Structure 1
Amino acid sequence: MHRLTNRQILLGITGGIAAYKSAELTRLLKGAGADVRIVMTAAATEFITPLTLQALSGHPVHQHLLDPEAEAGMGHIELAKWADLILIAPASADFIARFSAGMGDDLLTTLCLATDAPICLAPAMNQAMWRDPRTQHNIQQLSHQGVKVFGPGVGAQACGDTGPGRMLEPEELAELTAEQFQHGALSGKRVFITAGPTREPLDPVRFISNHSSGKMGYALAEAAADAGADVRLISGPVNLPSPPRVECVQVESAEQMLAASLDGVEQCDIFIAAAAVADYRPVAVAEHKIKKGSEEIMELRLIKNPDIVATVAGLERQRPFTVGFAAETRDVLEYARSKLERKGLDLIIANDVSNPDIGFNSDDNAVTLVSTATTLTLPLGPKRLLARQLIDQIAEHFHRKSQRTE
Structure 2
Amino acid sequence: MPHLDALETRPHSERLAALLARLPAQLAHAKTCSPAYASLLADTDCHRITSLAALATLPLTRKSALLAAQQASPPFGGFAALQPSQAARLFASPGPLYEPQGHEADSWRMSRALYAAGFRPGDVVHNGFSYHFTPGGWMMDAGARALGCAVFPGGTGQTELQVQAMRDLGASGYTGTPSFLKLILEKADELGVALPRLNKALVSGEALPASLRSWFAGRGITVYQCYATADLGLIAYESAPGSGMVVDEEVLLELVSPGSGTPVADGEVGEVVVTSFNAAYPLIRFATGDLSATLPGPSPCGRSNVRIQGWLGRADQSAKVKGMFVHPEQVHAVAARYPALGRVRLVIQQHNHLDCMTLHAEHPGPHDADLADSIAASLRELTKLRGEVTLCAPGSLPNDGKIIADERSLS
Q: TM-score, normalised by structure 1?
A: 0.23
Give the number of the structure whose residues are more often helix, by fraction: 1
Give the number of the structure whose alpha-carbon radius of gyration is greater.
1
